[in-house]
């Protein structure tokens, strides 16, 4: 084809390139015309390419946890009679039970679980979608520098990460839906009744954005060497005490916990979904939920963009 590189200095076989083609790279280089929108879109495309590559593990992760939960709580326990405690029985006294009786209103534990698990998935998938990759990118080789050198302000990169995480979080929560509807013992079907689809979508969207903003914030604050701490000290308490397994209103008898729970962003995700999915059950007022989720997105989002920038730029 063309002249090869001067073999003088280069041992046989080592010259895997041609001088002419390297030279052509410079002269034939396209004129870059980056715009914010194009770069942003390319970054999102990159995110989904990676996601697609890990599709099987991503999907397994998104399906397995809710599936196991639903299987144990809506199928196994009711079958073996433990349902007495968690789902069917007298409820009111059972500490860990939801405190609701199926005798009167016919509220199964599955009904409580639908919004709870969806909310828990919103958070989990956001953490897996933003925090974990970010911690990887900041540690070791700092591969984040690759994206940081793209011709956009660093905060745009942060916003892109939040959006990508939110989409994963949204999809994760959607996956729970059919699982909870389908997997249960006879008579344990959840009573789901969507009164307002627009509200449902709004709550899912803001739940997802607040979760992934929180995810980004954690990702920029957590020391990569202390990742286990993230789970033990932050994720587990948020989920266990996030009104996933009981409605917030049922906490009336433990006033201090009911009030303390208000700082937990999970609570608003779970209660918001409860309000639009299973309105027959007691739930927080919708305006409070929306305010918290939108406010959470704004507050976590702006904090995270700042901490992100400080981590990227030394």
Partner 1 sequence: MTTAVREPGTGETPETPLPGPDPEITAINTKNLKKTYKSPRGNVEAVRGIDLDVPRGEFFGLLGPNGAGKSTTIGMLTTLVAPTGGTALVAGRDVVADPVGVKRRIGVVTQNNTLDMQLTVAENLQFRSRFFGLSSREASRRAAQLIDAFGLGDRRKALAHALSGGQARRLLIARALVHKPDVLFLDEPTAGLDPQTRVNLWEILRVLHAEGQTVLLTTHHMEEAEQLCDRVAIVDHGRVLAEGGVDELKQGAGAATVVTVRFEEQVQPDFPERMGLTARPSVSSAEVDGDQVRVFSAEPDGLLGELVELGAREGLHVRDAAQLRPSLETVFLALTGREYRE
- Residue 228 binds partner 1 (CB under 8 A): no
Backbone angles phi, psi at 296, to 5 degrees: -60, -40
Q: Which residue has the tokens 């069917």?
A: 88
**Which CB atom, from 154 or from 216, has the smaller least distance to partner 1?**
154
Contacting partner 1 (CB under 8 A), which of 19, 182, 229, 233? Answer: 19
**Which CB atom, from 12 or from 263, has the smaller least distance to partner 1?**
12
- Residue 226 binds partner 1 (CB under 8 A): no
CB of 38 to partner 1, least distance (A): 5
- Residue 56 binds partner 1 (CB under 8 A): no
Contacting partner 1 (CB under 8 A), which of 141, 193, 196, 260? Answer: 141
- Residue 52 binds partner 1 (CB under 8 A): no
- Residue 232 binds partner 1 (CB under 8 A): no
**Which CB atom, from 144 or from 304, has the smaller least distance to partner 1?**
144
CB of 8 to partner 1, least distance (A): 9
Contacting partner 1 (CB under 8 A), which of 131, 138, 153, 195? Answer: 153
- Residue 312 binds partner 1 (CB under 8 A): yes
Estimate to the nearest angstrom the gap between the alpha carbon of 208 and the chain centroid. Answer: 6
- Residue 223 binds partner 1 (CB under 8 A): no
CB of 154 to partner 1, least distance (A): 8
Contacting partner 1 (CB under 8 A), which of 102, 126, 142, 174? Answer: 142
User: What distance in Å separates the CA atoms of residue 130 and residue 125, rounded to the nearest whole number?
Assistant: 8
**Which CB atom, from 10 or from 182, has the smaller least distance to partner 1?**
10
Where does this chain touch partner 1 (CB under 8 A) — which range of 62-70, 149-157, 219-227, 232-240?
149-157
**Interacting residue ranges for partner 1, rule: CB under 8 A:** 5-6, 9-11, 14-19, 21-35, 38-39, 41-43, 45-46, 49-50, 53-54, 140-154, 312-314
């Amino acid at each position: 084809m063309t002249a090869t590189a001067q073999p003088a200095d280069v041992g046989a076989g080592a010259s895997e390139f041609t001088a002419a083609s390297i030279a052509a790279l410079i002269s034939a280089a396209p004129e870059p015309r980056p715009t914010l929108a194009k770069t942003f879109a390319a970054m999102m495309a990159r995110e989904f390419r990676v996601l697609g590559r890990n599709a099987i593990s991503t999907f397994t992760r998104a399906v397995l946890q809710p599936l196991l939960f639903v299987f144990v709580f809506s199928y196994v326990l009711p079958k073996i009679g433990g349902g007495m405690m968690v789902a069917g029985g007298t409820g009111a006294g059972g500490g860990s039970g939801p405190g609701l009786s199926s005798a009167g209103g016919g509220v199964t534990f599955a009904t409580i679980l639908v919004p709870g698990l969806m909310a828990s998935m919103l958070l989990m998938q956001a953490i897996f979608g933003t925090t974990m990759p970010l911690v990887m990118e900041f540690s070791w080789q700092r591969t984040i520098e690759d994206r940081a050198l793209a011709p956009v302000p660093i905060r745009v990169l942060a916003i892109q990460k939040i959006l990508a995480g939110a989409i994963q979080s949204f999809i994760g929560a959607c996956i729970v839906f059919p699982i909870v509807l389908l997997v249960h013992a006879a008579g344990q079907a959840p009573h789901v009744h969507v009164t307002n689809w627009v509200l449902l979508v709004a709550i899912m969207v803001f739940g997802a954005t607040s979760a992934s903003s929180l995810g980004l914030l954690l990702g920029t604050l957590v020391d990569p060497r202390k990742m286990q701490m993230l789970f033990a000290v932050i994720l587990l308490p948020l989920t266990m005490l996030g009104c996933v397994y009981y409605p917030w209103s049922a906490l009336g008898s433990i006033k201090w916990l009911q009030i303390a729970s208000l700082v937990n962003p999970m609570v608003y995700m779970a209660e918001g979904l409860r309000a639009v999915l299973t309105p027959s059950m007691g739930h927080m007022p919708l305006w409070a939920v929306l305010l918290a989720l939108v406010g959470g997105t704004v507050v976590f989002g702006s904090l995270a963009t700042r901490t992100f920038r400080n981590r990227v730029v030394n």
